[in-house]
Amino acid sequence: MTSTEKGKENEKPAAAGKKAGKKGQKEESTLSEEDLELQQHLDSLVGTAIGEPKYETAPVPKQSARRDAIEELRKDVRMASETVAAIPKALKFLGRHYARLKHGYFKEKESGGSGLGDTSLTAEDLRMLADVLSVVAMAYSDAGEEACESLKFRLEGSANAAGDLPTRDTLIDLDPWGQEYARSLMGEVTRAWHALDGGDKETEATKVEDQGGDAKMADAAEEDSKPPVLEFKRAIERGELEHLVDSIVPFQLKHSCEPDAVDLLLEVEHLEKLDRHIDEHNYGRVCLYLLSSCHFLPPPEDRIVLECAYKLYTQVKQYPDASIVAIKLGDSQRLRDSFLACDALKEDSFLLKCQIAYIAVGANHGADLTQIIEDMEDGDAKETLEEIVSNAKLSDHFIGVARDLDVVEAKTPEDVFKQHLVESRGAGAIDTARQHLANAFVNGFVNAGFCKDKLVCDPEEDAGENVSKSNLIFKNKDHGKISATASIGLISLWDVDGGLPMVDKYLYSKDMNILAGALLAVGITCAGTQSDCDPALALLAEHITFDEGEMSPGILATKIASIMGLGLAYAGNPRPAVTELLVPIITDDTHNSDVVGAAGLSLGLIHAGTADDEAVQTLLQVLMMRGSELPAHKLGARLLCVGLGLLFVGKGDEADAVLEVIKTVDKDLAQYCACIVETMAYAGTGNVLKVQQMLAMVCKLCEPPAPKAEGEKTTKEEEKKEKLQDQIDGETNFVSVLAIALIAMAEDVGAEMAHRNLEHILQFGNKAARKAVPLAYALLHMSNPEVALLDTLGRLTHDSEQEVAHNAILALGLMGAGTNHARIASMLRALSGFYCKDSQSLFIVRCSQGLLHLGKGLMTLAPGRADRTLLSQVALSSLASFMFACSDMKDSILGTGHYLLYLLVPAMRPRFVVTLQQEEGKDQLKHKPVSCHVGQAVDTVGQAGKPKTITGFQTHNTPVLLGVGERMELATEKYISMSPVNESFVVIKDNPDYQE
């Protein structure tokens, strides 16, 4: 190198120094006198702490002076770390000295920290200096995030403010350093933990080199102007990280940062450490965060989180909360354990058991507690609990609420249609059979559960008068009488004692269609209830037996109605006797696809979410043996596949083995069946990967066929095959679109993402995909009208493709089911005028109007339970079954399968809140009106303090009605609720600490 080049090289750092000097002067000129004084003070402390003399001829600071300077720095840093609004001034001014402090620390570390000389630091002094460096490194580390220098200095630092040596037996006191420092430390602990899990991957954070803290100069920086960076080579052991985690978790819980503590334990896979830190003050916020985070975790972590929440609730003796988590886990044994554990709380044992029973019944898990209650000692408590799990009093409570709200009087279809407000485009065929059938459905939906109406089963009239009059049943023709008669069951829903006598007179009819409707009515009446005498099984079993030879359509209708009746009556309540009846029907080769499909669907409803071995093997056997006879474009074959899917509702990867077996089924059915099973297995789980998989399938099935070569001709046989294949692919495509909504409906973030995907499908999809979009919207907002979506559905009701329009009309009814929503009512009235000459479209409009006024506004179809913490598997199964049947309405609802509308029955439930109190001196419950607030629910997960859980509330006296997204709270402290979620039936008790 020449002398000229050497000169230029020497000029570079000089020029850089001048620039830095000018920058420093500019910064200093903008500082106030107070800040300048603080900066100079800290500069002086840093020099003293690292042992630099104040000027060239000055002596090196003594050990005591250096210790005092370090202590002063610790004090300034502690005060600085209390604020989180911006980087504090003390920390900001120390940032530029980070490299000097680090160099000074390493220099002392090399000497061993013995403190033998007058100027050397002791080990205790070094620990205190490491404390300072750890906090400064949080914001000004010059080695990058991956170096985890703040963490390394923390591990070298002291255990508390006194500078004591940290040991594994004592926790590190993080209180002096503040919340922001603890949060930063958590991030570095997480990075270091994952680096250790990486094994052979060498990272700057975790290179295991036993350097003993030796100081080493790193290679020169890439740019000449940058000063050299010191590397801190230190091994991080897993035991050290665990000890630090044990110190951070109680600190975060103490400062109301439960989400941070849970997140850290999730990252290091030590969630069991929560047990020792949970008490009655913080369990609520911790468990609430655990339950809300499970939707965003992959298997098996989601289940581990729920098991942890169950354990914590049990630890603090919150058994109703624990029962909700047990149901979410699908663990019947844990539910029973929570129920039995209430015996330990002697004073409230009966009330807690009643509340757990109501929670279990609301989620269709009442059968899990039946045996335990039967084994109890005879008495009032046993009798009360048996009434709860059997839902024997549900009808009485429902009618009692209706009486309080003054809506007992029966309504007619005309009261719903309000035809005088409709601007008709001309006279339509009003007195058609389809119109009478629509009136029967509307009459049933509107008066559901009220045990009285004006058209079918008025109790004031006897059978003779009913028959002689122009009864609505007898206005219908042929198969229309089936659904018309079955509407009696809907009207007498849940009232087994009062409803069966209404149906009984039709069980002796010589008209096979009326008999079939009566049998279906028996099943509908008994839906959601349990009884020791099993009236549904007793009445329907005799009509299920099949004789040899061909059957007339009427007899076939009675068989199918009996099978469907059993499915509806015992949905979610598997009885061995019912299974024994259905299995031979499914396996019999002589039965046609409609009978086998109905039996398979009923078996799936009965064993929904259980993955019952016998049921699975039965359905798989039929699919493998008769797959070629059951192509996916036939309704019976599709219902059989749906039945198999229902067995795995929410089971996730437990369905993998069955999916492998399905690959051996006939190819025309295998794709559809696999899509159904996978959809139902992940329904309500929010699994993002499965949503992406379904989107990929939609894209694949929406691709146009490859263009044919010029001059290539196709035969009629080939055209027929192509058309059939298009039908089969269309059915699979329809299910794939619904799958997106079914999987994502569990939580709001996933639902919002599903909305965007559905918009794209609506814009770019083919006919089969587009007609599923309205129903997918309805699934995401069942009984919960979304104003923004009403405009979209309103446009789709006039779509050029009739099937899309039909599903959009039905989606309006489902979205507003049981809400009496004024805008939807107005839209449906307008549609009734628009489609007055189209009997099929008008029929769907009428059915939607009936659903909108379901139970006169006292019922809902929403599958969410316990403030949407749970999804009822039975309700989800019934809704999904109905949706899948709507893929070809002309073959189902608009054809002879209109009775499939009654698949919605298991999803129907009251949307009231009733408060019950124990009768004095008795183990019985009585209705107790109390003052309450009803308002829009507010998400309080992770919020500090005690935030309000509802907003925009109104004050009422119970019973009250709750919509989706609304929440009820007691307005008085006079009573204590035994339920963690105030919905359906809430057991209350007097507050012993209440004073007037």
What's residue 317's pLDDT? 93
Would you place residue 395 in the very low, low, confident or very high pLDDT band (cuts 50, 70, 90)?
very high
What's residue 99's pLDDT? 86
Q: What is the pLDDT of residues 605-647, one digit of tens each?
A: 999 999 999 999 999 999 988 877 776 678 888 999 999 999 9
Q: What is the pLDDT of residues 561-597, one digit of tens each?
A: 999 999 999 999 998 999 999 999 999 888 888 899 9
Closest CA to 737 of 689, 703, 783, 771: 771
- Three-class DSSP category at 803: helix
* Tokens found for residue 430: 């009003």
* Tokens found for residue 732: 């699979």
* Tokens found for residue 265: 């334990």
Separation CA 549–CA 546 (nearest Å): 9
pLDDT of 676 > 70? The answer is yes
- Percent share of the chain, pLDDT over 90: 45
Name residues whose C-beta falls within 8 Å of residue 153's C-beta, 6 or more positions apart in sequence. 130, 131, 133, 134, 137, 232
Average pLDDT over residues 787-794: 92
Whether 242 contacts 270, CB under 8 Å: yes
Specify the DSSP element, H or E, that contains 960.
Answer: strand 960-961
Separation CA 442–CA 898 (nearest Å): 13
Separation CA 561–CA 482 (nearest Å): 8
Question: Residue 986 has what DSSP assignment?
Answer: E
Separation CA 659–CA 670 (nearest Å): 9
Q: What is the pLDDT of residues 908-952, one digit of tens each?
A: 999 999 999 999 888 899 999 999 999 999 888 888 778 888 998
Separation CA 63–CA 60 (nearest Å): 9
Q: What angle do CA 588, 591, 593 make, to 5 degrees?
A: 115
Orientation of helix 123-140 relative to helix 63-80, angle to 10°: 40
pLDDT of 9 > 50? The answer is no
The radius of gyration computed from the CA coordinates of the chain, to the nearest angstrom, equals 36
How far the first Cα of the chain sits from its last, in Å, is 96
Would you place residue 552 in the very low, low, confident or very high pLDDT band (cuts 50, 70, 90)?
confident
Closest CA to 687 of 697, 676, 678: 678
What's residue 180's pLDDT? 86
Q: Where are the alpha helices (DSSP H) in 294-449?
A: 301-315, 319-329, 332-341, 349-362, 367-374, 380-390, 394-404, 413-417, 433-446
Q: What angle do CA 266, 268, 272 make, to 5 degrees?
A: 65
- pTM reported for the whole predicted model: 0.87
**Range with the poorest average pLDDT among 105-119, 598-612, 711-725:** 105-119
Closest CA to 771 of 796, 739, 794: 796
What's residue 619's pLDDT? 93
Separation CA 34–CA 90 (nearest Å): 12
Specify the DSSP element, H or E, that contains 719.
Answer: helix 716-744
pLDDT of 225 > 70? The answer is no
Q: What is the pLDDT of residues 354-377, one digit of tens each?
A: 999 999 999 989 888 999 998 888
Label residues 204-224 b or e (16+ Cβ within 10 Å = b): bbbeeeeeebebeeeeeeeee
Sequence length of the chain is 996
Specify the DSSP element, H or E, that contains 968.
Answer: strand 966-970
What's residue 81's pLDDT? 59
Whether 412 contacts 443, CB under 8 Å: yes
Closest CA to 215 of 346, 113, 364: 113
Average pLDDT over residues 89-109: 84
Q: What is the pLDDT of residues 258-306, one digit of tens each?
A: 999 999 999 999 999 998 999 888 899 999 999 998 888 888 888 999 9
What's residue 548's pLDDT? 67
Element counts in the chain: helices (H) and strands (E): 43, 14
Separation CA 973–CA 980 (nearest Å): 16
Separation CA 419–CA 649 (nearest Å): 42
Label residues 553-574 b or e (16+ Cβ within 10 Å = b): ebbbbbbbbbbbbbbbbbbbbb
* Tokens found for residue 814: 């489902």
Q: What is the pLDDT of residues 333-345, one digit of tens each?
A: 999 999 999 998 8
Would you place residue 38 in the very low, low, confident or very high pLDDT band (cuts 50, 70, 90)?
confident
What's residue 115's pLDDT? 52
Closest CA to 572 of 796, 872, 839: 872
Of residues 145 and 65, more confidently modeled: 65
Cis before residue 707, ω within 30 degrees of 0?
A: no
Q: How far is CA 708 from the centre of its chain?
A: 47
Average pLDDT over residues 642-654: 93
Closest CA to 826 of 844, 806, 852, 800: 852
Would you place residue 320 in the very low, low, confident or very high pLDDT band (cuts 50, 70, 90)?
very high
The single-letter code of the amino acid at 560 is I
What's residue 683's pLDDT? 93
**551 in the Ramachandran plot: left (φ > 0), alpha (ψ -120 to 50) or beta?**
beta
pLDDT of 425 > 60? The answer is no
Average pLDDT over residues 401-416: 91
What's residue 904's pLDDT? 95
Whether 149 contacts 105, CB under 8 Å: no
Residues facing residue 248 across a β-bridge: none
Name residues whose C-beta falls within 8 Å of residue 145's C-beta, 6 or more positions apart in sequence. 188, 191
Cis before residue 959, ω within 30 degrees of 0?
A: yes
Mean residue pLDDT across the chain = 85
Name residues whose C-beta falls within 8 Å of residue 49's C-beta, 6 or more positions apart in sequence. 66, 69, 70, 73, 101, 104, 129, 132
Average pLDDT over residues 515-530: 93
